[in-house]
Every structure is written in C-alpha cells, then in structure tokens.
Structure 1
Amino acid sequence: MNKVVDTAADALAAVTDGQTIALGGFGLCGTPSVLIEALLDSGATDLHLITNNCGPDTSAVTELLRARRVSRITASYIGDNSVFLGQYLRGSLSVDLVPQGTLAEKLRAGGAGIPAFYTPTGVGTAVAEGGIPLRYGAAGVVAEYSAARRVEQVGGRDCLLEHSLTADLALIRAEVADTQGNLRFRASARNFNPLCAMAARVAIVEVARVVDAGRIGADDIHLSGVFVSRVLPVGARMRKPIERLRVAHPRVAGEGELAS
C-alpha cells in the first residue's frame, strides 16, 4: 500500500509517446512543475495535454511546448502565453477550447464514469454551433473546425451535449500526502488537481510533505488515495512562483491624497 517513490523518473516510468495527460493547476497555482520537468526529461512526445491553461511563458508547461513534445491541448483559454498562441496559429498544435466550467465538469464526469452530459453553457455560441478553429494550416488558413454540438431541451431550456474527458496519466500537486496516497491540498492550489486525478487511469502526485498513513484526519482528506497511484515527495523543490507581482507604492499618501 505504500505508494511513495524516490525519484521523478520512477514516478514517470510508465510514460510513453502519444499519451493523454491531465495536468492539475491554474496558471502557476497548484501546477506540478517538478513532475512536468520530469516529463520533459522523459523524452515522451506527441502528447495530448488536458489543462485549464498553460500559464505564462515562464511555466513548466511552456517548456514542453518549446521542446515540441505536445501535439494537442484541451484547455479553457490561451491567455498571454505567446509560445502556445504561436504554435496554434502556425499549425503545429491542435487546440480544443472549452469553457472553464465545462472543462471541469468533463473531467469530473470522466472520473465518475459518466460518458456525456447536457449543459446550457455555450448555447447560442460557436461552442454549440461549431466553427471554432481546432487547427491551422502552415499558411495560416484554418485546416479544421470544431463540430456542432447536439442541442436538446432539458426542463424547457436549451442544452448542448458534452462528452466527458479521461486521461492515461494525471500529474497533480498537493501539500500533504500519506503513504497510502490520501491527499490534502492547500487553499486555491486545490483547483483542477482532484478532477484531473479522478479522470486518469494513473495519477501521480508531487507533494511538499509525506506523513504516515492515518496522520491526516478523515475530515481533512480532500482526495482519497484510491485515485492516486504514486506519491513523489519534493520538499523544498516545490515551486510556488507568483504569476503577476503587484506591490503597493512605498510613498505614504499625505492628507487629502489617494495612495497610488
């Protein structure tokens, strides 16, 4: 029952070309950067990543893109990642853009064994009607568009059919794990991590700290170890960068002034 492994290479021993990998995190928050760097070192290519987004140009996911290891991404938005955008527009990367809440539910449904579901999100838009560019050609011309969704009335409201998502692997991050893989996340780093783990056949987690089984109180377990295959302790190697640093101006506002 002890799921702790010693190295990132051991954790990713089963990774192969062409796999679908779900990545926890939101931008830089809760992103398993140590495991993503190990995925880069593994040499695996032609990967399909499922992630809320790829983060900024400085993210670990961006290094996978720079190394041309990714052929397809399912995400909720491109954001300000110039590498992601450039590869999409040049035709080297296929992109499935999915509304963020729908993406979360597609992963949750996949983990629950539900093959599809109806949602009102996207009705009356290109999400339902099709026509979102999935892939560009080399000349900048759209080579493939998204297909129209099936629309049905549910309770008197138009809803479109969405299929669930599953993955071969999930790479996630938590704050504390026990030796059996039960996890506790810290604050908003919980985000997409549990959903990715539940939707994957094999879930691998990097954690700041590992404790003995039974040391995490039952009410403090955010994800059961039944969904976790391997636990990698990373300690101080866990990166917690700030995506956009904002600080107050050091000058104190005088009477009648507003602080900038």
Structure 2
Amino acid sequence: MKLKRYIFILMVLFIAFLFPSKVNALELTLSYSASNGCGFTMLLSYDNTGSIDGFLFLDGGTNIKYGLDNKLIYKKYYDSNLGEIVVENIYSNVDSEYNIAGSSDLLITGYDKDGNQLFIKQYGGNGEDEYISYFKSYNDFGINDGNVVVFRTDSSDLDVIPGYVMVKFDLNGGVVWKKNINDYYNKNLYYVVDNKVDSIFYIKNSSLEKKELLVKVGKKIQILIFILLTIVMIKMVILMELYLLEQIMILV
C-alpha cells in the first residue's frame, strides 16, 4: 500500500532526526558542572583579543588545548627551559614598601631558564586579591607566549566582575586579557581524552558520573514526540484499513 510506504518513510526520517550532531562542548560542560572532584581541571581558552577559542585541560605541568570543534590544538608538558614566574601575595599591613590600594595585591616576578629576573609586576585593586595558581599560556603553534594567573578578588576597580578571575600576562608582564570565571571555576569539568574530547567526568550526589559528549539534544522531548507521532501514524493506518475494508464491503 502506498500510504503504508509513505508512513514508513516518514517514521524512518523521524528516527534519523533523533540523532543530531554533537552538542556544543561549552554548553555541555557548563550544564553538567558540579562540585569539586578528582581529575584534570578544565578552563576556557581565549585568544589574545579575549575571545573564546577553545578549552584547556590542566594537570600540574600538563597543558592540553582543544579547539571549539573538539580537535586537539596542542599538548604541552612542563619544560624548565621556558623559565618561570613566581606569584606571591603582598599585604598593606605588612609590606609597607609597596603602594597597595586595598588589603592585598599580587606580586608577579618573571625569570628566564637561568634564573635571571625578567620583570616584576604588582597587580591588584582596591580590595583583597588572593593568589590561587598559574599556568603557562601557548599560542596555537604550541609556543609559550605568556602566563595565566588565577586569583580571587573582591576589588571593584579591576574592570572585571569580582570573584574568581584569571589574567593573562605576556612574557614581559603586560596584561593581555582578564576574565571572570565564576561560572565554572572549581566545578569539576573533568574529562577523558582518546585523541579527542569524547566525555567528561563530574561529581553528582558524591558519586562519580560520566557524561558522553555525543548526546541527544532534548532527548526526552524528542522521544515523547516520537511516541505521540507513532500513535497517530498507527491510528491513521488502522483508519485507512477500516476505510478500505468498508469500500470492499460496499463493492461486494
């Protein structure tokens, strides 16, 4: 029957619709972020204009970057030949030799691989600025082009929303960009890498959960629509069969 064939084709097309393309990785990771756990730390990556250009996965000296298309950009390991920066807190009630507007600032000192001082920079605002960590920054060719410092601040004059902040400094200590990361910092964006970002681990109700990166958008809603549409199709087939049977009876 032609009607049955058309209905069957429609059902096949709808089933294919249930398997859309990959969910945007940023939406997925933020949607499933939770409390602290164990694993790699994930942060957004920014180009030198301050625009999001990928994702960073950090673990000690390991620095891995994936682009927004989830393709590997680079994988870097600790390299003493790149030199270091030392970041420390300085306090207005203790370190009187510094001009500190608030209660504390960051003091960042850069060194080359031989330990020679390259720069020293004081950074902070009119409140409390507390250092957390730093990691090396690389361009998309894997060449070290600076350092990113993560800290907590309640200063209101740093041109960034107070809270958890990361600032990129170039190799001379100049500020490249600064970003508030309250939305996702310290929220177990953890992952598994098999030559690509294919899944993340996250903590839910104190247990370790895994979420595949290839997920179905609005899956529950789509399944419900599919069930309803299937019921309608079945009813159409039954009604058509009854109609044809009725026509046959009339002809007989």
Answer whether TM exceeds 0.5 for this pair: no
Q: Which structure dedicates a bigger proportion of its chain to strand? A: 2
* TM-score bracket relative to the smaller structure: under 0.3
TM-score between the two structures when normalised by the length of structure 2: 0.25
* Larger Cα-atom Rg: 2
TM-score, structure 1 length as denominator?
Answer: 0.24
